Every structure is written in C-alpha cells, then in structure tokens.
Amino acid sequence: MDDLLFHDIDEPGLNTIEVYERRGGYETLKKALRELDGDRVLAELQASGVRGRGGAGFAMGTKAGFLPKGTMDKYLCCNADESEPGTFKDRELMQKNPHQLIEGIVLASFAAGINKAFIYIRGEYDAQASILEAAVREAYEHGHLGENIHGSSFGVSLVVHRGAGAYICGEETALLDSLEGKRGNPRLKPPFPANAGLFQGPTLINNVETLSNVSHIIKHGGEWYARIGTEKSTGTKLVSVSGCVQRPGNYEIELGVPAREIIFGLAGGPLPGREIKAWFPGGSSSPVLTPAELDLAYDFDTIAGAGSMLGSGAIIVIDDSVSIVDVCLRTAMFYKHESCGKCTPCREGTNWTTKMLQRVSDGLATPMDLDIIASVQKQIMGNCLCVLGDAMAMPVSSMVNKFRGEFEAHIEQARAKHTPLSEAVRAPLDLTKQGAIA
Amino acid sequence: MSSNLQYRSPYTVVDALPPGYSRRPAGEPERATITFTIDGQEIQAPEGIMVVDAAKYGGVEIPVFCYEPKLGAPVGACRMCLVEIEGIPKLQTACSTPVRDGMVVVTKSERVVEAQNGVVEFILLNHPLDCPVCDKGGECPLQDISYGWGGGESRMVEPKRHFEKPVALSDAIAIDRERCILCYRCVRFSQEVSEDYQLVLLDRGAGAHVGTFDGTQYIAPFSGNIVELCPVGALTSRAYRFRARPWDVEQGGSVCTLCPAQCNVSYTVRDEQVMRTLSRENAGVDDGWLCDKGRFAYEAWESDARITTPLVRQGDKLMPARWEVALTAAANILKKSGPRTAALAGGATTNEEGWLLRRLMLDGLGSPHFDSRRGGEFDFDVARTLANPALAATMPDVEWADALLVLDCEPVDDMPVLDLRIRKGVRRNGVKLAIASARPSSLDAGATRVARIAPGGAEAFTQALLAALGDGGDVETLCENAGADAAEVRAIADLLAGAKRPVIVWSERLAVTGRGAAPLRAICNLADRLGIAAKDGAGLLEVPLSANARGLREIGLLPTAAPGLMHCDNPGLDATGIAAACGEEISALVLMNTDPLSDYDDPTAWSAALAKAGAVISFSTWMDAATARHADVVFPAEVGPEKDGTVTHPDGRIQRLRQTVERAGEVNAGWWVLNELGRRVGVDLGVKVANQATAQIANHVGIYAGVTTAELGGDGVRWQERDAAANLPRPARTTFDLTPPPAAPSSDGYLRLGVFRSLWSGGEVVNAATLATLAAAPRRVELSPVDGERLGLTSGDAVTVKTGDGEMSAVVALRDAVPAGFAFVSADLRLDEGDEAAVATLGRALASTEERSAEVTK
Amino acid sequence: MSAAPQNELRHEDSVPQLADVSVPAELKAWIEERMAMYPEPKSATIPCLMHAQKLHGWLSPDAVRQVAAVMRVTPAYLVSVASFYDMFELKPRGRHTIYMCTNISCMLRGADAVMAELEAQVGVDNGGTSDDGIYLRNFECLGACDIAPMASVDGTYIGPLTVADAKALVEDLRAERDVLPEKHLTRRPAAATYWAAGKRIEQGGER
Ligand SMILES: Cc1cc2nc3c(=O)[nH]c(=O)nc-3n(C[C@H](O)[C@H](O)[C@H](O)COP(=O)(O)O)c2cc1C
Ligand code: SF4
Ligand code: FES
C-alpha cells in the first residue's frame, strides 16, 4: 500500500464525481449500506484505532460510540475550520478529493445513526468551499446523500457551512455555537457534544482528515488499517510542513516515522547553510522541540512523551536566522487576536503576555519580566474555559524556558538600542461609537 | 482569610429553595439530600445544586463574578470560582459543577489560592482603580473579592485598556467600559431574561465590550436591572450617579404599588430622600427583577409636579390650604352629602386605606356607594369560585406550568414582571405557551401556539375553547365569533387538556367588556373542565386592572359584597351606577388615588358625572384631570416609600408596605386623613397608628383573619395558605350556564379597532426625568403592511383615526405581525387639552364590544 | 424614509419590520432559502450576513437592518455576531480586499517585508483602504503555508510572494486584471509532486 488519503491526489478531475466514482468511489458506501449495519461499521472504526486528526487525537470510533442510540435527531459536524497556524492539509483534501470526505461523512453518520451532517469550513477557504458545495450537490444527485440512500432505510443530509474568520471556531464547542449562528464562544463541558451538542442534540465532531480516512477503513477493514503506523497511532497522517524548509508542503506519512525523515527527507531540510533552531511538531499550539528531538518517532504518544503534541500534524521549522523572540511574540499575538474573550485567564493572559513580549522585543524588559511571563503562563494553563489559552501558554513557556539565554541576550542588545515603547503597546483601543454624556 | 470578611453578595441566591416560596411549586422537581465534603467538613445539601451554592450550607464562601443563577445556566466565564474536586485533575468551576453524593471539594489549597490570586490579578489588569470616585465603591463585589481572594499586588506595568468613558447607554444608564470585567451578566440579562436582545457584546478577545446596535439607546422595559447586576461600577444609573455613597445611605424594604406585579423593592434613602430603588428579591413575587417604571418612579415623586399640600378650591382655582382648613372643608362636604356620598378607590390604595374608606362611608355617612372595581356585574358565585384557593396559581406556578394560556392580556404592559416569569418558564422549564390576543404579543416569539382573536373576542374564544374541550357548543361558530382560527383553538385546547399543570393567566379586562360576568363564567367553566382544582400546580391567575385590585375587593371595598366576599344585605351603587347617579342620587364624590377620566373606560360619562357631582374630594399624587377640574378639596396622597400598610398580590400574597422616608411637604398618611375625617363626621375609626387599621382588617375580614404585619414579615404570606382561608364562603355553584357570546362586530369595510395601554403611562412615567422621553412618544396606530400599502401609509406617517363619532391623531407604525384588517391604537388615556374626543373614543373602544371600526387617513 | 428614530424609542420595535425596511428581493429570497436549510433558522446568521456584505460591500447599518428584518432578530444580535468574526466589515471598505498573512510560517519566509511593500504600493497602513478602494490588512494564518508568504486577494490565495510580487499584485488589482495568475494556489501542481521529490520512507514490518 502506498498512500491512503493522497492516493492519486493530483489526478485531474478527482474532485468531480465522475472521476471519483470511476475510481471506485462510493462503492464502499453502497456495499456498507447493503451488507453491513451501523454497529458493524462502528465496530470497524473502533477496530481501526484511528485517532482524531484535528488536534486532540481522541480515538474516533470510541467517540462515535458515545452517541446515544435512539431515533432523535443526531448531528455530525465535520470540522473544516483548519486555522491552526501551519496547518493546511484539510484544504488539500477538500479541494482535491471532496468526495472522499463526503463518503466518509455518510459512512460515519451511518455508524452513529446520524441524520444531519454539516461541514463547518473556515470562511477564508472560498475556493475549497465552492468545490465542496459542488461535490455535495453531485452527491445528492447521485443518491449518496439524502433520504433512503441507495435504497436503504438510512438517510443523512449535508450542508456546507462557511465560517467568517475566527480560529476559535475550530474548537469543537465554539464551532457548535458558531454553526448555530452565534458568536463562536466555547461552551462549558459537560455536557459533551456527544450528549448535547448542536441544537442540544447528540453530535459527533471530527476533523476533515479523520473523516477522509473512514471510507478506506471500511473498505479494507479496521484491522487492516490498524496495522499501518504504530500500535497506538494507527494509519497515515498528513503532515503540513512549513517555515524554514526547502520544500514546504503536505506529506502523507505513516505514523511513527522519525520526524527527521519528514523534515529532511520529504521537505528537504533547512535552506542551504542554515541549521534548525527549533520546530513546532503539531501547529503553533504545540510546545517547540529542539534539534536534539528530531529523531523522535512522529506519532501521538512519542511526541506527547517529549512534552509536546502531535496536534494537527503541522510541522513548522525555525532556523538559526530567526530570533526566537520574534517567533514567541508572533505566536502570542496570534492567540491574543484569536481569544474569544469569554474567560478571564485567556482574554487577559494572552493580552498581557503579548504586551510583555512586545516589551521584551522592544528592549524595555528585564530578565525578571521573563519570570513574570513564565508565571503568567502557569496562571493560564488549565484554568481556562477551553484550551485556547493553554495553546498560547504551552508554546510560549516552552520557548521562554528552552531559549532563556537567547531571550536574555536579546533584552540586553535591544535595551542598548533604546527602542521607544512600541505603538502597539501604547495605542488605546477606541472601539466605541456612542457619544459621551453631556 | 475570608471567613471574617463580612462579604454579603447581593447577587447570589443562598438556598436551593429561596425564601418566598411558601411551598415548592408543584412542577419543580424535588431534590434528594446528599452528603459531600468541603474543606474537610461533611455537609448536607440538595443534590445537583452547584458546588458554589452547596458550599454555603457549610458556611464556605466561594467567590464568583459571572455566576448569577437568576440569569440561567452558569457560563463559567470569569473563572473566579475554581476549586479542587477530588478525582478530577483540573481545577473546576464551582459555579457550574453540580454537587454529588460523596464529592470531596477543596477551596483553600495552595493550588486553589494560586488560581484565585491569578484570576483576581487578571481581572484587575485592566480595571481602573478609581474606586474613590466610583459609584460602586463600598458595595462592590470586585472590591470585596480582591480583598478576600486577591494576591494584593499587581505586576503589570503596561498601560491599561482605554475606552471613551463614561458614555450613555440610554437616558437611564451610563456605561464605563474601562471598569467592565466582562462578566456578561448584563448582556445575558438582555438576551436570556428580558429577551430584548438589544444589549450585546461587540468584538472579541481583549477588545470585547458591551454595546448596542450602531450606538442606539438601550430601550427596554427592564433595562435598569443591569445596573444592579453589574458587579463593578461599569453600569451606573444616571439618575443615581454621584448622589450618594453606600455608607451614608440606608436601605428600606417595601412593595411597589404602581401595578399589580407588586414587586418587592428596597429604597436607598439619604436624608429622608429616596436616592434609588433596588429590587428586593422575592422568589414568590418578582424573582428579583424590577421594571424601569418601578425603578425610576422615585424621580417623579421628587418632582415639582407632585401635590404636597392640601388644596381647597377658591373660585376656579385650587389653592394651598392648611390641614385644618382642608379637613373641615371636606368634612362639611361629607356631612352635607351624608348617605348621598359615593367613593371610588384606585389601585395604589392600600388595604387599610380601603378599609377605613369603607368604614367612613358606611359607619360615618351611612352610604353603601363605594367601589374599587372598574364596573361590570359582580356575581358572588363567580367571585367566590375564582377566589377558591384550589384554583389559584402562584407566581412560581406560572414558571413551572406545563401549559400556560395567556388570555387577552399583554403582561409586559399590564403586569410587567410577569412577562419575565413567563419567559423564564418557557426558556428554562419548557413551558408550552399559548397566547390568545388581538394585538400581536411580545410573547408570541416564544409561544407554542398563538391565536389571534378579534378585539373583544376573548369571551367567544373561551367558549370556543370549552367547545373544543367537549363542553358543547359549536367550535366553528364560536371561533368565528371570536375572530379566531378554529384549528389554532383546537390545538390550544389539546395543549391544555393534555397538561398536568395547566395555568391560565387572564386579564380583569374580561370583567368590563359590557357583558357583565359572562366572560368570567366561561373562565370558571374552563377551570372546571380542565380539572384545575384537583391538579397540583395548575391554576388561574388574574391580572387585575390596578395594583391592589385584589386586596380592595377582598377587604370589602365593594358596593355589593361584605369583607371577605361575604354576603351583604344592603348593596350600594357600583362605579357605573355612581357615574349615572351623580347629580341625582349622589351629591358628593370621594376619589382615592383614582382619576375616573383616565382610569375608567367611559371618560365621556365620567366627565359628565364629575361635572354634576356637586362636590368632589380627591386624594391624589398628581394634578390629574379629574382633580384639576372637579376637586373641591385635595388631599396630597402618599407615595410608595411613605406608605405603611398592606396590599394583596394577584396570587393572594398579602404584602407589607413600610414607610422608609418622611412624607414629602405636608403630606399626611392616608389612614390619618380618613381617621380625621371620621372624627369630623362623627365616627371614631379608632386608628392612631397604621397598624390598628391592619388589626381591624384581621378582625373583620374572614379570609384575612388574624393576620399581623409581623406574620407578613418581609416576604408576605398568601392568604390561601393560612388556616383562615377556610372562611371563604362556598359558592352555590362553580359552573355556569353560558349565554352565547355576540359575534365579533363587523368592521363594515373599515379597520377593526383594537386598543392597548402601554406600560409607559401614568404620572410616575411622565414626571420621572429618566422615563419622560418614553412617555412623550406620540400615540401610535399599528397597521398591517397590507393595509399600509392599500392605504398608502408608511411608518411614521401622521394620520387621523376616525371612528363612528370621534377622531384622533396618531402616528403609523406598520408591524409585520399585525393581521390585515386591524388597527391597534395606543390608549394612554391622558386627558390632554383638546384631546377629549380621542380619549372618549378610545375609552368606549376599551369599554365595549361595539364601535370597533376605524378609518385611518393621512 | 423610515420612522426608525422615533420608533426605536419603543421596545416593541427592537426587531425591524419588513414593512419599514426595503430588502432587495434577491437578498430576501437568499436568506429565506438559507434559513430553511437548518433545523433552527438562526443558524443561517453568518452566511446571511456574508451575503449581505457581498451585496453592500460592507455591513452597513442598513444592510444589518435588512438581514434583521428577514431573519426576525434584532440588529444588535447581528452586529454582535458580525463583530466577532474577522471577515465581517462593519465599516466601509474598498472594492478589493488583500489579506496578507503575517503569521509564523509566512513570517518565517519574509511576510513582513512583503506586507511593508504592499503598504507602500497601496499607499495605506495595515487596516487602511486606499482612495481607489483597495483594502489591505494583515491576517492570521490563512491555511496555505506551503505557498508562504502568501495573501488572499479578493478570496483568491496567491503565493509564494516576493517583495517584487507585491508591486505586480497591486498593479494587477488596479488594472482590474487577474492577479498574479501563475501564483494562484488552485493552479499549482499539488503535493504529489513533493511526494515524488521526497524519498519513500521504509519502516520495519511487512506492508
Ligand atoms: C483552539 C482550538 C482550535 C482548534 N482548531 C481546530 C481546527 O481548526 N480543526 C480541527 O479539526 N480541530 C480543531 N481543534 C480540535 C477540535 O476541538 C476537536 O478536537 C476536533 O475537531 C475533533 O476532531 P477529531 O477528533 O477528528 O480530531 C481545535 C481545538 C482548539 C482548542
Ligand atoms: S458591564 Fe458590568 S455586568 Fe456588563 S459585562 Fe461588564 S462588568 Fe459585567
Ligand atoms: S463564577 Fe464560576 S466561572 Fe464565573
């Protein structure tokens, strides 16, 4: 077996139903509806061991199994928000092989008794959303979606829903609120989406890549799938490699290959004359790793064991030409910008951290500020409503801790330059429209 | 550290069953008692309540900002309440974690303290420390929590967040966004309690701030509640800003008597002046909310418009007079008129005043002609049936009903805080709501069923409902008479029939339709048909037309019934009869807190009656039309915080008013004036302190027997739940033969006229600076877009509304929900100069089922 | 002219009435159709706002009122939602929109220099709109770090951009031409090329 999700990914017209069906697409769906029941499909998913590809790495079959049985409306939300910096794999899947995703959605719905499915795609992915919409239309026309699919008693509807620019909507409960037409604020858990999710109904939320695996798992069987990768990280993984490498791009790898093979072998390694200084193994939310950790096996548990996480499978490579202070500040700025503002530690913590890092960058800080930065990250971690706060605190503290020397050196040098207090820090927010009281 | 900090949050509910519930509403699920451990001590608490509330059973206080159970489900946003729970690796928010048997909670470990210090530090990062000039200073949860749970130092050197400040959110409220700690209480109130959805959060992250659409004012009937909800000084009352500090004021609890909702209030008093009105939460009454009218009325009481001295007419002028002069003048009138004197009392009248007025009339003057109702036939059997405790719904029953019918009333205008209770029931407890009203109701959006009926069609609707429930009669014909859709009526019948706890909220307006007691008989039959008496949690709730209508009726301020709805041997004239008899059988009129020209439905008749009345004595707060034009002697009436006495809530709760400020100017207590008048006409009413009048009621009103102000306490007591309820006489019958209702009047090719009264009316609204712009809104006529197009009218057009014999000016508002063929006119019956024709028309339209067609032209 | 200012003083009028707001027929039909696609019509909020924004160029108060009248929600609700998301514009913007990604992956490949050049070429600072209607702002990761540094120009992903490209990009826009056609993401050969370029990974165990 070569590659799963990316098999012939560049075949012209693969995004159309003609080509997809010609290549055997939707046969698995038809067969499953004809020969299997939902429980059996679910059992295959469970046997495959496939873990979520969206960030948390939770076993998909297990999660699907949490949905209550019964005839109430149940929902599937395909998480196509893909906003984690450095991540662009779902984009490729949706643009080039949308039917693989749709088939996976229908099969997963069948497995969990779901009758209404949505793809929540980030609004910026305009081209991809249009392709998906066209593919959904085709799938309806060909009877792969709708009621009584292929003569079975099973039916599911599918709507492509575009977001409008908010990273937090990738967080599954924020996604639900956003899909319900609200501000994308995360919800308190419990209740978990499996019990009370979209419109308070049982809801299964999975990433595009996770769902794109489903038809392959059902086609070949869960056991077959489980043999790919490592024992606890089965299957292949799309890895988005970006940053200071020669060939940034999406690569499908078998889980468990050494990270070095991905970064050097596939992505061509750093630019000539450059050395790797640090790398994010799983998007900008993951604590950075050092070159010493390049030989780690790229799978969920090994990376977690190294104090980081596989996350969305986005490797961002930082080379020695880049100041870690810049990376750290940029990272914090992102999370500050994307914090929904609902809970205190995240809203205030990301904002404050950004201000402090700005001062560090501007040369207006002392090493004591680094201690405060580190302690503020601790104040954030684990204390927020969702993990967006942690998503900043983890990489920021990893950078401050692992590269403390560089931070201190920067503070020294920058202070010497007497950089004025940056406008970004000083500029007041003037967001009001309402007139002052006379 | 925190235990000796006398921190009393005004924002939290301590008990799972708050005081004020005399009993658990039948619909509310019972909770088992569990045992859990908090900070080492074993505590019992009701299962499933949030840890933060359960902790209070053990005297442990967990700090909160965003948690406010009145607002619905917890949001877990501020993270102030983090605690350790054994077996869960992450700290948990105590506000959103239900307590379970055997749970082990730790609130004082190093981890928890660190997290608490952290959250306080975060919250204070951008909060200006301008406490010395902040209105909240001294009563600020943020101050208290910073002191009790904060680390005591700030490590932030960067500038704080800046906003333009303070800005006006509305005439009533100022917002200082720099002080806002983003707890979302205010926006949750707007969105999840009052559901007006006008106050929202804008932007996100650190830039998130509270605001409205495009800078428009936040205009909503309950907007003032957000000031009380705000845990910091971000939202302040513009009327109260900078006028007092918490340490130089006192709080005095009483009850608002501006409408039947009778919300419990706490007046903030400084130097004998009310500085503001706060809610005094009573779960059995108001759930801790106030409408803006009640909240800002105090401004009107301080205004120059108020009458604060006795007045006596000299020529065509009312001139200030000394008490002795006024009392003598009034006594002379009464003595001269004797048994030919009549009296009317309005809703702000307390039970005691009503009682003494009754005695003055009967014992002093020998006149049985007094009334507290607006007219209409009084039928003993109907009145006693409707008063039957087994048929009475409590306010909490409204919230826990499984099916709720709102019949011909608009709670937000008629009894505002009831509107919130209904919304709460629908939103939180899944109450299935059915609306039957002519004018589209603000509750329609949350309703399961909406039946539009013709104006005046409520009786026919009730009969149609009965027919659909199998009580005989032809559903189709009755629906046609009601102007209602038969399918909808059937659906509502099914909804009610299938309910375990059906509750029907109906308006006293049904009693004054010109059809006598007939509509009420239909309601009695409906209650019987639905088996309400036997169903726990089911019931009827009447929305009276005035604040203390129920109390005055029950203490016997009725021409036809003795106190406690007892038989009376010697009936007098009712209000309608009095109007007709003025100048003949009646030669003097006492008006207590009422202006018949605006309160009663036939101003033309009353105008004539007052002119002929001979002499008029008025107890009044404002120079209303009747007082100004017809009164010979005017006694300045007390207002809310000046009063002592009791009133009776529509659900039967007897509540106590307490005087909290000195009476303004030369105002004297109503009971004192009546006692003095008694003395002068030769009867000793025997009241030297207010309490004595209450004692007389306790001795003479069977169903109130033995009641004392001490027993009423702060929360009041429903008389139905006292033993004396057994003194209610049994009706001879509880179901009635119904006469067929008249067909909905034809509109003769014109629009059918419907009339509604807005919450924004009355002296308290007109004279309170904060509310004045609302009162000044022009009369409006609401039309359907279809008719708008047909008549070439758009919203904002000035038009003339012509009816049979009158016409009035109005401004068009096209509303999508108004059915074609109708015109709804706001009837705030203020008798302004030159507006008499309009008022007469509207009055008649309100009063009768006839003359309901109108022509609208530019 | 509608009677809005006067009527807005009344709480009854918090939801704009269709009778008072003239909604373009196409927009009304679109919104109604979209609302019907969800179990709860409010779900259509974001797509409907986006449609109105496309129609009006920005979410003007009038545009918001129109959506509110059809959806039967308050305008406040809609602006609350709109202001949460980066792609909604509550102030007038240009005919053309450039989102320049300045997040880490693009930064690592020179996005800041490209952004500076774009600012110079368009003639505005970050967040500004030029007189001829080009709206330029930096943006968080757009999900195309394989073509970093990149930008989304009127929704089309373009990259990798050089500083020289910034000039061409703005020129193309000003000339209302297809912008840097050879650098469109959708026209790029895809990942498989890279796959071929990389070496196959052999790992223990039979396949
Ligand atoms: C702040 C935040 C952002 C996230 N963004 C995404 C995302 O863009 N796409 C995604 O699939 N999952 C994202 N997730 C993870 C989801 O919450 C969720 O775990 C995932 O969609 C589940 O699908 P999976 O089990 O298939 O991975 C995000 C999580 C957080 C906390
Ligand atoms: S204004 Fe007050 S109530 Fe509203 S969010 Fe801010 S702090 Fe909370
Ligand atoms: S009080 Fe618990 S999170 Fe705010």
Q: Which residues of A241-278 are buried (b: 16+ CB within 10 A; e: fewer)?
A: bbbbbbbbbbbbbbbbbbbbbbbbbbbbbbeeebebbb
The least confident of B195-204, B449-458, B792-801, B845-854 is: B845-854
Tell me how far the alpha carbon of residue A220 lies from the centroid of ligand 1, in angstroms.
27
Residues A148 and A24 in one domain: yes
Range of the domain at A372: 324-421
Ligand 1 site: residues with CB under 6 angstroms?
A: A 52-56, 58, 60, 79, 81-84, 168, 170-172, 205-207, 210, 386-388, 391
C23-51 average pLDDT score: 98
Q: Which residues of A199-217 are buried (b: 16+ CB within 10 A; e: fewer)?
A: bebbbbbbbbbbbbbbbbb
CA dist B50 and B72 (Å) reads 12
3-state secondary structure of C158: strand
User: Which single residue is written with the structure tokens 């990489």?
Assistant: A395
Domain C96-188 part of CATH 3.40.30.10:
yes
Asked, for residue A429, whether it belongs to a domain, the answer is no
Half-sphere exposure in the Cβ direction for B430 (13 Å, CA) = 3
Q: Which residues of B807-844 are buried (b: 16+ CB within 10 A; e: fewer)?
A: bbebbbbbbebbeebbbbbbbbbbbeeeebebbbbbbb
3-state secondary structure of A9: coil
For residue C46, which residues of chain A lie inside 8 Å, CB to CB?
A: 123, 161-164, 178, 181
Residues A307 and A344 in one domain: no
Do B198 and C14 count as a contact with CB atoms less than 8 A apart? yes
Taking the Cβ of residue C186 and every Cβ of chain B, the question of whether any pair is shorter than 8 Å is answered with no
Residues A66 and A186 in one domain: yes
The CATH number of residue A54's host domain is 3.40.50.11540
Residues A361 and A257 in one domain: no
CA dist C60 and C29 (Å) reads 20
The CATH number of residue A261's host domain is 3.10.20.600
- Sign of the alpha-carbon torsion through B261, B262, B268, B272: positive
Asked, for residue A435, whether it belongs to a domain, the answer is no
Ligand located closest to B234 CA? 2
The two tokens of residue B141 are 């949860």
pLDDT exceeds 50 at position C194? no
A342-361 average pLDDT score: 97
CA dist B636 and B613 (Å) reads 21
Asked, for residue A7, whether it belongs to a domain, the answer is no
pLDDT of B344-381, one tens digit each? 999 899 999 999 999 999 999 999 999 999 888 899 99
What integer pLDDT is reported at residue B840 of this predicted model? 63
What integer pLDDT is reported at residue B154 of this predicted model? 84
- C-alpha dist (Å) from residue A166 to A44, A184, A331, B204, B205: 35, 8, 16, 10, 11
Which residue has the least CA distance to atom 3 on ligand 2?
Answer: B230
The two tokens of residue B594 are 């009422």
- C-alpha dist (Å) from residue B543 to A71, A138, A216, B419: 42, 58, 66, 11
Check: CB of residue B659 under 8 Å from CB of residue B269.
no
3-state secondary structure of A21: helix
Backbone φ and ψ for B739, nearest 5 degrees, come out as -95, 145
C37-53 average pLDDT score: 98
The least confident of A67-71, A224-228, B544-548, B802-806 is: B802-806
For residue C20, which residues of chain B lie inside 8 Å, CB to CB?
A: 794-795, 814
Taking the Cβ of residue C13 and every Cβ of chain B, the question of whether any pair is shorter than 8 Å is answered with yes
- C-alpha dist (Å) from residue A197 to A192, A387, B430: 7, 18, 18
What is the 3 state secondary structure string of A246-267? CCCEEEEEECCCEHHHHHHHHC
Q: Which residues of A80-110 are buried (b: 16+ CB within 10 A; e: fewer)?
A: bbbbbbbbbbbbbbbbbbbbbbbbbbbbbbb
CA dist B305 and B301 (Å) reads 8
A374-381 average pLDDT score: 97
Q: Which amino acid is at B771?
A: L
Do C40 and A199 count as a contact with CB atoms less than 8 A apart? yes
Q: Which residues of B236-272 are buried (b: 16+ CB within 10 A; e: fewer)?
A: bbbbbeeebeeeebeebbbbbbbbbbbbbbbbbbeee
> What residue segments make up the domains of chain B, in order of their start?
311-374+548-644+662-687, 380-543, 751-857
Strands lying side by side in the sheet with B432-437: B449-452, B432-437, B403-407, B502-507, B539-543
User: Considering the domain B380-543, what is its CATH architecture?
Assistant: 3-Layer(aba) Sandwich (3.40)
Residues A197 and A250 in one domain: no
Residues A25 and A56 in one domain: yes
What integer pLDDT is reported at residue B126 of this predicted model? 93
Check: CB of residue B633 under 8 Å from CB of residue B310.
yes
**Span between the terminal Cα atoms of chain A, in Å:** 75
For residue B777, which residues of chain C lie inside 8 Å, CB to CB?
A: 6, 9-10
Which residue has the least CA distance to atom 2 on ligand 2?
Answer: B230
pLDDT of B55-64, one tens digit each? 999 999 999 9
> Rounded to an integer, what is the distance from CA B693 to the centroid of its chain?
25
Distance to chain C for A328, nearest Cα, Å: 9
B372-395 average pLDDT score: 93
pLDDT exceeds 90 at position B210? yes
The least confident of B718-722, B754-758, C147-151 is: B754-758
Residues A328 and A295 in one domain: no
CA dist A105 and A213 (Å) reads 10
CA dist B541 and B555 (Å) reads 19
> Can you name the residues that pair with B616 across neighbouring β-strands?
B589
Atom of ligand 1 nearest to the CA of A53: 27
CA dist B289 and B655 (Å) reads 17
**C205 compared with B662, residue with greater pLDDT:** B662
Quote the strand ranges of A145-269, DSSP E: 157-162, 203-207, 236-243, 249-254
Half-sphere exposure in the Cβ direction for C163 (13 Å, CA) = 7
Asked, for residue A282, whether it belongs to a domain, the answer is yes
pLDDT exceeds 70 at position B443? yes
Tell me how far the alpha carbon of residue B340 lies from the centroid of ligand 2, in angstroms.
60
Nearest to B675 by CA among B663, B661, B664, B690: B690
pLDDT exceeds 80 at position B88? yes
Residues A332 and A382 in one domain: yes
CA dist A272 and A55 (Å) reads 32
3-state secondary structure of B598: helix
- C-alpha dist (Å) from residue B799 to A327, B251, B856: 67, 48, 6
For residue B167, which residues of chain A lie inside 8 Å, CB to CB?
A: 432, 434-437
Backbone φ and ψ for B381, nearest 5 degrees, come out as -65, -40
Q: Which of residues 71 through 130 in chain C touch B, CB cutoff 8 A?
A: 72-80, 83-84
What integer pLDDT is reported at residue C201 of this predicted model? 38
- C-alpha dist (Å) from residue B93 to A382, B13, B99, C143: 11, 17, 12, 35
Start and end residues for every CATH 1.10.10 domain found in chain C: 13-82
Nearest to B599 by CA among B298, B775, B846, B299: B846
Residues A33 and A163 in one domain: yes
- Number of residues in chain C: 207
pLDDT of B743-781, one tens digit each? 876 666 678 888 888 888 888 998 999 998 888 778 889
**Span between the terminal Cα atoms of chain C, in Å:** 74
- C-alpha dist (Å) from residue C164 to B449, C115, C123: 65, 11, 16
- Most confidently predicted of A409-423, B6-20, B629-643: B629-643
pTM (2 d.p.): 0.94
Please count the other Cβ atoms lying within 10 Å of the Cβ belonging to residue A220: 17
CATH topology of domain B311-374+548-644+662-687: Rossmann fold (3.40.50)
**Nearest residue, CB atoms, A341 vs list B163, B165, B205:** B205
**Nearest residue, CB atoms, C146 vs list A182, A248, A252:** A248
CATH topology of domain C13-82: Arc Repressor Mutant, subunit A (1.10.10)
pLDDT exceeds 50 at position B11? no
Q: Subunits with at least 3 CB pairs below 8 A relative to chain A?
A: B, C
What integer pLDDT is reported at residue C76 of this predicted model? 97
A295-318 average pLDDT score: 97
Backbone φ and ψ for B810, nearest 5 degrees, come out as -160, 170
Q: Between β-strands B33-38 and B104-106, what pairing exists: parallel, antiparallel or unpaired?
A: parallel
The least confident of A418-422, B283-287, B335-339 is: A418-422
Asked, for residue A101, whether it belongs to a domain, the answer is yes
Check: CB of residue B165 under 8 Å from CB of residue B211.
no
Taking the Cβ of residue B153 and every Cβ of chain A, the question of whether any pair is shorter than 8 Å is answered with no
CATH topology of domain B751-857: Barwin-like endoglucanases (2.40.40)
Asked, for residue A438, whether it belongs to a domain, the answer is no
What integer pLDDT is reported at residue B554 of this predicted model? 97
pLDDT exceeds 90 at position B325? yes
What integer pLDDT is reported at residue B512 of this predicted model? 86
Ligand located closest to B181 CA? 2
Start and end residues for every CATH 3.40.30.10 domain found in chain C: 96-188
Q: How confident is the model at residue A418 (pLDDT cuts 50, 70, 90)?
A: low
Asked, for residue A9, whether it belongs to a domain, the answer is no
- Number of residues in chain A: 438
> Rounded to an integer, what is the distance from CA A348 to the centroid of its chain?
24
> Over pLDDT 90: what percentage of chain C?
83
Ligand located closest to A94 CA? 1
Peptide bond into A248 cis (omega under 30): no
Distance to chain A for B152, nearest Cα, Å: 16
- Give the total number of structural domains in chain A: 3
In angstroms and rounded to an integer, the radius of gyration of the C-alpha atoms of chain B is 28
